[in-house]
Chains A and B, each alone.
Chain A
């Protein structure tokens, strides 16, 4: 029995799930109807549905961010700006007229191409020019929104065509909110790609030991480049969902601070911010946990502006616990206690 218990608790998804469970449980205690799901007007309603819905963009972002962190121990802080830029491109192409200026699918593709180009730019700076990831992505972080504002002319552009809201809302006759579906598709497809090809293995190998990886034939430059391009694509997809939700593009606010939430989701998911082994599932759990935490805090009358304070405490606690120095202090403290208990010096 002990064997099984140990295996369970050391599973890499154990702690992320426990954190999520705690948050959900807390909510359940506060409002017993928390887990209730009902169907009104042909669509699903309920706290849980709401949490999953709102966390969809973050889940998609977290998938991309996980790859960047794993391959290069780097963080892409430009994802929020990429969301804004790709959203601006799409909305601009569709136009603010009564109907679309160009086919919807084409506009979406344009937006995604923009986001992939952004990701490739980041990848070029990090993988080829060997610039620190935080620094390299700082450039798009600063410029991305500005460029988006140029496209929108500094205004918030609105889409009048009602079908635009399908992506961020509901598809006709489908009770599940579309963002949840998109998030599921992204997670499933990325997991399939990572596991059915050698990509996950390569990314982990390069992230853990790039020197050794090169000696047995891996091209770490190319691998790191791909992860940043993928992160850009994820930001683009998240941007599409976000703009569709409000059927408009507000280049100043869309995706604001989401890069920070994405990094937090990756860390909460049990992934080391130093790179190496990763779990997309963990990041997904982390993303949902953050959203659930936000929902909990909102229910406790914490405003959106005050929310970051609690997130800060969570971030610091988690990173402290993950830090090897901290573990060293703890071990030393434990060793001292053992000395006292035994009464003689421990070897």
Chain B
């Protein structure tokens, strides 16, 4: 048993362990600091998921892309344009909510397909292609409407406001009233995405091909895999997840406006990296990205509870964590290379 744990902890398992421990440390820190303000209330914990459902989905999509050694900086803009599209279709064009939602998923898939083609078949750097994607989506948002559009569509609002009560958990609030915590549909979607993605990455040939291509594309080719189609599928999947994240985001904001989700891709990347996904590719875990997103959530929560610190501190802490993890990954790599050089008996 000890051997098993030791082997799981070696290398990249170690990074995931660091992430989970970090999350627990932050949670307990908050619990200790703000015990008197119900930090440990189940609702506060579930709010982490509620506020960050979109981030979780976006981080999962980003994980797939990062594993193949690519990157997607257009995700924030895609979320923005998806919200705007939903708002416009439902409020200006009076389409049904269901139709609007299906159409934005189609948009996400097509968007991912185009980006994937440029990246995997024309071999253009992912950063540049998704930079173009970011510009395109952002501009498109403004073209659809420069004013904010609020969603009044009943079906949509019902979906957005529908609380799912977790009646198996009971707690008492300040006034001693018995409460059950609740979540929204968005949280369910996010968790389902994480579960399905985990299964894909672990138990399907496609998932393993994603890792292989990210590890060494040339080797993957020589071993009989097809890196081009694998990468294309990854970007299509990412496009779909981006539109799904946009939908979830919209459930939260119930409207579309030009500046929505600007810079969100950096949060998604940070979540994935803090969660143990290597920016150089070949390594990643959606569970880690989930925790990465939750870590951002908890830092935000702590800062909100603190009250006096500006919200910019969240940005800075995340950047510092990102820096720490990037350097940690780099140090790890150097240690491994040195150890192997010693092992070579020549």
Contact residues of A with B, CB < 8 Å? 75, 125, 129-132, 134-136, 138-143, 145-147, 149-150, 153-154, 260, 263, 267, 273, 303, 305-313, 315-316, 319-320, 323-326
* Identity of the chain B residue whose Cβ is nearest the Cβ of A75 in the assembled complex: B127
Whole-angstrom distance between the Cβ of B320 and the nearest chain A Cβ? 7
Instruction: Tell me whether A311 and B316 are in contact (CB under 8 A).
Output: no
Residues of B within 8 A of A150 (CB): 310, 312-313, 316
Between A138, A147, A273, A319, the greatest number of chain B beta carbons within 10 A of the residue's beta carbon is seen for A138
Instruction: Tell me whether B142 and A316 are in contact (CB under 8 A).
Output: no
* Identity of the chain A residue whose Cβ is nearest the Cβ of B142 in the assembled complex: A305
B56 at the interface (CB under 8 A from A): no
B136 at the interface (CB under 8 A from A): yes
Residues of A within 8 A of B5 (CB): none
Residues of A within 8 A of B245 (CB): none
Task: Kindly specify which of B93-101, B116-124, B283-291 makes contact with the partner chain.
Answer: B116-124
Whole-angstrom distance between the Cβ of A320 and the nearest chain B Cβ? 6
Task: Kindly specify which of B45-53, B229-237, B323-331 makes contact with the partner chain.
Answer: B323-331
- Beta-carbon contacts under 8 Å, B109-147 to A: 118, 121-125, 127-129, 131-136, 138-143, 146
Known: A136-B326, A325-B122. 15 other contacts (CB 8 A): A139-B323, A139-B326, A141-B266, A143-B315, A154-B310, A154-B312, A260-B131, A305-B258, A306-B142, A308-B135, A312-B132, A312-B133, A312-B135, A316-B118, A319-B125
Contacts known (A131-B330, A134-B127, A135-B326); A142 close to B139, Cβ less than 8 A: no
B92 at the interface (CB under 8 A from A): no
Contacts known (A141-B266, A305-B138); A315 close to B128, Cβ less than 8 A: yes
B270 at the interface (CB under 8 A from A): yes
| Binary A-proximity of B303-335 (CB < 8 A = 1, otherwise 0) | 000000010110110111011001100100000
B269 at the interface (CB under 8 A from A): yes
CA distance A319 to B266 in the complex (A): 23
18 pairs of residues in contact across A and B, judged by CB atoms under 8 Å: A125-B326, A130-B330, A131-B326, A138-B266, A139-B322, A142-B318, A143-B316, A145-B312, A145-B315, A146-B313, A146-B319, A153-B310, A260-B135, A263-B131, A306-B142, A307-B139, A309-B139, A311-B135
CA distance A305 to B129 in the complex (A): 20
* Identity of the chain B residue whose Cβ is nearest the Cβ of A121 in the assembled complex: B323
Instruction: Tell me whether B141 and A305 are in contact (CB under 8 A).
Output: yes
Residues of A within 8 A of B330 (CB): 129-131
A contacts with B: majority SS: helix
Instruction: Tell me whether B143 and A132 are in contact (CB under 8 A).
Output: no
Contacts known (A149-B312, A260-B135, A305-B138); A139 close to B319, Cβ less than 8 A: yes
Instruction: Tell me whether B323 and A308 are in contact (CB under 8 A).
Output: no
Residues of B within 8 A of A125 (CB): 326
Instruction: Tell me whether A132 and B279 are in contact (CB under 8 A).
Output: yes
Residues of B within 8 A of A319 (CB): 124-125, 128-129, 132
Residues of A within 8 A of B141 (CB): 305
* Identity of the chain B residue whose Cβ is nearest the Cβ of A144 in the assembled complex: B319
Residues of B within 8 A of A139 (CB): 319, 322-323, 326
- Beta-carbon contacts under 8 Å, B130-178 to A: 131-136, 138-143, 146
Instruction: Tell me whether A132 and B140 are in contact (CB under 8 A).
Output: no
Residues of A within 8 A of B122 (CB): 320, 323, 325-326
Residues of A within 8 A of B124 (CB): 319-320, 323, 325
B12 at the interface (CB under 8 A from A): no
Interface range on chain B: under 10, 10 to 19, 20 to 34, or 35 or more? 35 or more
Residues of A within 8 A of B79 (CB): none
Whole-angstrom distance between the Cβ of A62 and the nearest chain B Cβ? 16
Residues of B within 8 A of A147 (CB): 316
Between A153, A267, A306, A325, the greatest number of chain B beta carbons within 10 A of the residue's beta carbon is seen for A306
* Identity of the chain B residue whose Cβ is nearest the Cβ of A131 in the assembled complex: B330
B40 at the interface (CB under 8 A from A): no
Whole-angstrom distance between the Cβ of B44 and the nearest chain A Cβ? 25
CA distance A129 to B327 in the complex (A): 8
CA distance A263 to B128 in the complex (A): 9
Whole-angstrom distance between the Cβ of B114 and the nearest chain A Cβ? 9
Instruction: Tell me whether B131 and A315 are in contact (CB under 8 A).
Output: yes
CA distance A307 to B143 in the complex (A): 9
CA distance A132 to B69 in the complex (A): 11
* Identity of the chain A residue whose Cβ is nearest the Cβ of B74 in the assembled complex: A312
Between B123, B318, B319, the greatest number of chain A beta carbons within 10 A of the residue's beta carbon is seen for B319
* Identity of the chain A residue whose Cβ is nearest the Cβ of B270 in the assembled complex: A142
CA distance A132 to B320 in the complex (A): 17
CA distance A124 to B336 in the complex (A): 21
Residues of A within 8 A of B131 (CB): 260, 263, 315
Residues of B within 8 A of A326 (CB): 122
Contact of A142 among B133, B140, B310, B315 (CB under 8 A): B315
* Identity of the chain A residue whose Cβ is nearest the Cβ of B314 in the assembled complex: A146
Instruction: Tell me whether B127 and A312 are in contact (CB under 8 A).
Output: no
Contacts known (A146-B315, A146-B316); A309 close to B136, Cβ less than 8 A: yes
CA distance A81 to B139 in the complex (A): 22
* Identity of the chain B residue whose Cβ is nearest the Cβ of A140 in the assembled complex: B319
B280 at the interface (CB under 8 A from A): yes
Whole-angstrom distance between the Cβ of A326 and the nearest chain B Cβ? 5
Residues of A within 8 A of B320 (CB): 143
Residues of A within 8 A of B125 (CB): 273, 319
Instruction: Tell me whether A142 and B319 are in contact (CB under 8 A).
Output: yes
- Beta-carbon contacts under 8 Å, B72-109 to A: none
Contact of A135 among B142, B143, B279 (CB under 8 A): B279
* Identity of the chain A residue whose Cβ is nearest the Cβ of B77 in the assembled complex: A308
B71 at the interface (CB under 8 A from A): yes
Instruction: Tell me whether B132 and A316 are in contact (CB under 8 A).
Output: yes
Instruction: Tell me whether B71 and A134 are in contact (CB under 8 A).
Output: yes
Residues of B within 8 A of A267 (CB): 128
Residues of B within 8 A of A307 (CB): 139
Between A305, A306, A312, A319, the greatest number of chain B beta carbons within 10 A of the residue's beta carbon is seen for A312
Residues of B within 8 A of A140 (CB): 319
CA distance A312 to B320 in the complex (A): 31
Between A129, A263, A267, A310, the greatest number of chain B beta carbons within 10 A of the residue's beta carbon is seen for A129
Instruction: Tell me whether A143 and B319 are in contact (CB under 8 A).
Output: yes
CA distance A283 to B327 in the complex (A): 32
Contact of B123 among A130, A132, A325 (CB under 8 A): A325
* Identity of the chain A residue whose Cβ is nearest the Cβ of B318 in the assembled complex: A142
